[in-house]
Amino acid sequence: MPVDLTAADEAILDRLADGRCTVGYLAGETEYSRQHVHNRLNVLPAAEYVDKVHDPTGLYALQTDPRQSG
């Protein structure tokens, strides 16, 4: 299910394009709070853009970058 990307989503996807990241790392590397990043990381996996690869640490990886359509 495609979603409209927010500015936060763009920042998250930019970081994940470089490799796997935790919620804390993503919050630290962007202008968004940990809670906001966490909320967006509930939406992005549902759209099949991001995978949660390690539940205990909240480690995420890019699955499909929706900005790379074509």
With beta carbons less than 8 A apart as the criterion, state whether 67 and 33 touch.
no
The pLDDT value given to residue 70: 52
The pLDDT value given to residue 18: 97
- Kindly report the pTM of this predicted structure: 0.93
Give domain 7-64's CATH architecture: Orthogonal Bundle (1.10)
The mean pLDDT value for 3-25 works out to 97
The pLDDT value given to residue 62: 97
Q: What are the domain boundaries of the chain?
A: 7-64
The position carrying tokens 């996807």 is: 13
Sign, CA torsion 53/48/42/38: positive
Q: What is the pLDDT of residues 19-56, one digit of tens each?
A: 999 999 999 999 999 999 999 999 999 999 999 999 99
The tokens for 27 are 């919050």
Nearest to 12 by CA among 52, 69, 57: 52
